[in-house]
């Protein structure tokens, strides 16, 4: 997996590239939601997925998470992070099949935690 911040305000997207067994896929996430947290998970059905929390830090933003879920081996998007204001933790939990653990974002963790420094005007 490769993750990068937006190159400029003209291209305002985090980029996530997943290299699976049989496919490679690139996914873009808006930097308007200025936080991007990612980690690999194994769903209760054994599927390897990338769990994404793409959220904003403003007072109107969801405090419960704006999750996306992508199958690692196929690149198939199971859930879009498109609930910026109300969150979608319930849907993410149903797909993963277990309770979602909070992102720790520690230096020695296996998670990727980014904050975009690009200013949108």
Half-sphere exposure of 105 (CA within 13 A, CB side): 11
d(CA 84, CA 80): 11
Taking alpha carbons only, the member of 1, 25, 19 closest to residue 114 is: 1
pLDDT tens digits for 6-60?
Answer: 999 999 999 999 986 778 999 999 998 999 999 999 999 999 999 999 998 888 8
89 φ, ψ (degrees, to nearest 5): -60, -40
Q: What is the pLDDT of residue 61?
A: 87
pTM comes to 0.92
Stated as kind and residue range, the H or E segment containing 91 is helix 89-96
Tokens 């419960």 correspond to 64
């Amino acid at each position: 997996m490769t993750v990068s911040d937006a190159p400029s305000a003209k291209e305002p997207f985090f980029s996530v590239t997943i290299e699976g067994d049989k496919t490679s896929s690139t996914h873009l996430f808006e930097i308007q939601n200025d936080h991007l947290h990612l980690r690999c998970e194994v769903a209760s059905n054994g599927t390897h997925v990338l769990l994404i929390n793409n959220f904003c830090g403003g007072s109107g933003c969801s405090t419960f998470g704006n999750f996306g879920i992508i199958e690692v081996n196929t690149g198939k998007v199971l859930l879009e992070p498109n609930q910026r204001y109300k969150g979608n933790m319930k849907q993410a939990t149903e797909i993963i099949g277990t309770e979602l653990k909070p992102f720790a974002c520690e230096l020695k963790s296996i998670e990727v935690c980014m904050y975009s420094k690009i200013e949108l005007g």
